Chains A and B, each alone.
Chain A
């Protein structure tokens, strides 16, 4: 049975990785299982300089999901390179850094540094809905995505995956911009822009007013978008959005995803990602599938 896949030039032992911002830099979850069991680890969104994040409350629960407006709090790329990267490197897994910035220059500067590090790829974050500048502001137009991706491509030799926001009218068109700019893969979806109101305080629950919705609640939207993007571009897709088990993962792969990420599922059970690996293997056994690659995009 083969579970190996190739995501945008990154050879993964299985198609399961974790969504940025739901796994830190791996230390916390490494208490629970050996990170080498994952196909790859995708880091917390990391920027050129440290970011403090938004005011609390930053998270709240919603129906089969949650909202977050963390605001990309992270220690910056320098700290990552010195402290977290050596830790992650101890594991036999691929390391993909989620890279965020507030201007084209910042993305480029950051990716110049990332290009020199011992990492396996970059996931360019053009989709965080919770910061004032950058990210989703680039990610919601064809031109914005193409511009940032093109500039980053010039300085980055490593596999480049661009993470898209679902908060657009036509996700296929945005994915096309990624492909046209020469990136190696596309990942989707980031969170859906959302809001919750405390009816007794008559005020938004989140200090940021709006936040990103994640969890099983968004899964059907994510599957639809992966399917649409799979029909629009030839580059591989990293699919995510509400995946909490093997069945969910298979659904994304049938829709066209080469690999998948576990996001909010890591919060409710630290073992969700490796249970998903097992779930995929069980499905393969049961369906007598020899090679996981057979099912990628099998739903036409």
Chain B
């Protein structure tokens, strides 16, 4: 069941100049959330900005019913959200998305994240670790300034590789290239990915080539988040060119089997 709740902001931490980590009390949503789910947040009761903001879930503190999300200030909606103070209520709808990360039956997994796409991967890594899986995590950032959550991911990964495009921190290059090297030598049950489109395209291609199980979390411009507007369409792979068929990120996704979608 999806719910709309007024969730009290319990804690607010600014991670970088434009990235915020919020913890809110939302028992009803936390209870039903799975790794990969997202929420839709209405940042104002006014009509400007008009739509809710889709934001991925970073961590589920199931014991305390606390939902954590991390977001980057990108426009007027997230700007308003960033100004909320501890103690204020936030209008949140969730958990959203019926396509979530599937961990069942895997033993040795690789997690690939890029930039702000790393946030929904934390809960996944955490649950995988709790289930005694071998977790290999690869996180790519533009440069040193953008690197966040290194310790957090370290705690839920058996092996963590951090890369920066310009080499200003840890490994220089793209995270996917380090993942590629490792899967040559080790047997991986599944790759989980979220991040910029070029990264997702590359991992999708690699997975198809090597016939690997690969689950990717997608974004698309979204109207409602619950399947009313059919706005967030993503093309089904192998659907006819002259009559393409679509999934919707908010219903079929946000997590899809990489081979099922054309991105």
Interface positions of A (Cβ within 8 A of B): 21-24, 28-29, 31-32, 44, 52-66, 68, 70, 73, 205, 215-216, 244, 264, 266-271
- How far is it, in angstroms, between the C-alpha of A269 and the C-alpha of B228 when the chains are bound? 12
Given A62, A70, A267, which contacts B52 in the complex, CB threshold below 8 Å? A267
Complex contact A268–B52 (CB within 8 A): yes
Nearest B-chain residue to A205, judged by Cβ = B221
Q: Does B191 contact A (CB under 8 A)?
A: no
Contacts A56-B220, A58-B230 supplied; 17 other A-B pairs, CB < 8 Å:
A21-B230, A24-B227, A29-B226, A31-B2, A31-B3, A32-B3, A55-B244, A59-B222, A59-B223, A61-B51, A63-B50, A66-B50, A66-B51, A73-B233, A266-B224, A267-B52, A268-B50
Whole-angstrom distance from the CB of B99 to the nearest CB of chain A?
Answer: 15
Complex contact A52–B244 (CB within 8 A): yes
Given A22, A65, A216, which contacts B229 in the complex, CB threshold below 8 Å? A22
Q: Does B42 contact A (CB under 8 A)?
A: yes
- Tally chain B residues at the interface, Cβ within 8 Å: 31
Q: What are 19 residue pairs bridging A and B, where the CB atoms are less than 8 Å apart in the complex? A: A23-B228, A29-B226, A29-B228, A31-B1, A54-B233, A56-B221, A58-B230, A58-B233, A62-B50, A66-B50, A68-B231, A215-B50, A216-B47, A267-B51, A267-B52, A267-B223, A267-B224, A267-B229, A270-B226
Complex contact B220–A57 (CB within 8 A): yes
How many contacts between A and B, using CB within 8 angstroms?
Answer: 105
Complex contact A64–B48 (CB within 8 A): yes
Q: Does B232 contact A (CB under 8 A)?
A: yes
Whole-angstrom distance from the CB of A282 to the nearest CB of chain B?
Answer: 17
A73 and B246 in contact (CB under 8 A), knowing A23-B228, A56-B221, A269-B4?
yes
**Contacting residues, chain A, for B226 (C-beta < 8 A):** 28-29, 270
Complex contact B224–A61 (CB within 8 A): no
Q: Does B245 contact A (CB under 8 A)?
A: yes
Complex contact B230–A70 (CB within 8 A): yes
A266 and B228 in contact (CB under 8 A), knowing A53-B246, A65-B50?
yes
Complex contact A215–B229 (CB within 8 A): no
Whole-angstrom distance from the CB of B212 to the nearest CB of chain A?
Answer: 26
Mask: chain B, 206-221; 1 = CB below 8 Å from A; 0 = not = 0000000000000011
Whole-angstrom distance from the CB of B44 to the nearest CB of chain A?
Answer: 10
- How far is it, in angstroms, between the C-alpha of A64 and the C-alpha of B45 when the chains are bound? 12
- How far is it, in angstroms, between the C-alpha of A35 and the C-alpha of B223 when the chains are bound? 21
Given B51, B221, B222, B243, which contacts A52 in the complex, CB threshold below 8 Å? B243
A60 and B50 in contact (CB under 8 A), knowing A29-B228, A267-B228?
no
Interface centre among B4, B51, B52, B243 (most CB of A within 10 A): B51
**Contacting residues, chain A, for B42 (C-beta < 8 A):** 268-269
A61 and B4 in contact (CB under 8 A), knowing A24-B227, A28-B226, A267-B223?
no
Q: Does B49 contact A (CB under 8 A)?
A: yes
- How far is it, in angstroms, between the C-alpha of A24 and the C-alpha of B50 when the chains are bound? 20
